[in-house]
Amino acid sequence: MVTVGIIGAGRIGKVHTTSICTRVKDAKIKTIADPFMNEDTAAWAKSMGVENTTKDYKEILNDPEIDAVLICSSTNTHSPISVEAIQAVKHVFCEKPIDHDVEKIKNVIKALEENKVKYQVGFNRRFDHNFEAVRNAVQGGKIGDPHIIRVTSRDPEPPSAEYVKVSGGIFLDMTIHDFDMVRYLAGCDAEEVYVEAAVLVDPAIGEAGDVDTAVITLKMANGAIAVIDNSRKAAYGYDQRAEVFGSKGMVATTNDTLSSAVISTEAGVTGEKPLYFFLERYMDSFAKEMNCFIEAIEKDTDTPLGVMDGLKPVLMGLAAKKSLQEHRPVKISEIEM
């Protein structure tokens, strides 16, 4: 049994708490820490079976009974707490992104070189049943050599301008999942990124210095061309699809819906809208990624997504930002310098 401490009791912290308490059999949560811990959150934690709550995350790092730490706090804390947790010889699950600053991610890499602990980054979409099926088809050679990879990711509602200002921008906040997905489906890294983007959904996002609609093309190391399209608002719901076209065929996945029922009448043919947002769409994947993390600790195996898997999408996101600013293709090697 792996004893866990969770740092951060916001939305994603509660997702992981729920997963561990209800769907991860070989882990238990001893303590949840959050600087804004209040009576309501503490009561919620207790209802999930977690007795210990605190405002000071260092209580988790200093507790010899806790084997692993989940970092679910604000993005600006991910890398420094990662380093502290690694130096405290705790296994670490860190939500994406590790940081927006490459040098700070390198500090995490250095800490891992000096301490033999497990480190996993929270790109949960790799554990989604649809995307796993696409990946398996590609890896199994069923569609031949990949030529074109398409990833569509559109949110049902845009975030607030206040959130946008601290998010790091669409490429490091939203598209970062799609950068990881392209690497996952292609089985290799990207070499070059080019972006066309605009503010078409909410002028306040533009005023906050970001864009809300983007098409990103990528040259992959295996020769494939990848295309990502993003929008902060799809009127019909959470649009999450992928396709890989290859020399021998094509594999694609559609959106998950409440049911596959289609009603056909003289008025027309209608079906269900996509599941509303990520909590509805990806709950199974959150549980599966956590089971994989716990299994890596128990069996002393590599985690499925290590620190380098956390670094590569950030490099892609920074290249995308540079491409948009300079109106040109940007090589990943320019960012790595």
Mean pLDDT of 324-334: 97
Q: What is the mean pLDDT of residues 141-147?
A: 98
CATH superfamily of 126-276+313-336: Dihydrodipicolinate Reductase; domain 2 (3.30.360.10)
CA 98 from centre of chain = 10
pLDDT tier, 275 (very low <50, low <70, confident <90, very high otherwise): confident
Which stretch of DSSP H or E encloses residue 288?
Answer: helix 283-299
Average pLDDT, the chain: 96
Written as one letter, the residue type at 243 is E
Distance CA 272, CA 259 (A): 7
Distance between CA atoms of 304 and 35, rounded to whole angstroms? Answer: 30
Give the pLDDT mean for 29-51: 97
pLDDT, residue 132, reads 97
| SS3 of residue 264 by DSSP | strand
pLDDT at position 257 over 90: no
How many Å apart are CA 303 and CA 205, to the nearest integer? 36
Instruction: Flag whether pLDDT at 325 surpasses 80.
Output: yes
What pLDDT does 256 receive? 87
Question: What's the CA gap between 136 and 278, in Å, rounded?
Answer: 23
Q: Spell out a b/e string for 154-193, using b for 16 or more CB atoms within 10 Å of the CB, else e.
A: bbbebbebeebeebbbbbbbbbbbbbbbbbbbbeebbbbb
CB contact at 8 A, 268 and 260? no
SS3 (DSSP) at 301:
coil
Confidence bin at 336 (pLDDT 50/70/90):
confident
pLDDT class for 337, splitting at 50, 70, 90? Answer: low
Contact indicator for 44, 14 with CB cutoff of 8 Å? yes
Average pLDDT over residues 28-54: 97
pLDDT tens digits along 217-235: 999 999 999 999 999 999 9
C-alpha of 122 from chain center? 5
**pLDDT score of 262 more than 90:** no
**Topology of the domain covering 2-117:** Rossmann fold (3.40.50)
CB 222 within 8 A of CB 188: yes
pLDDT given for residue 38 in this prediction: 96
| Across 145-149, 254-258, 275-279, least confident range | 275-279
Q: Delimit the domains of the chain by residue range.
A: 2-117, 126-276+313-336
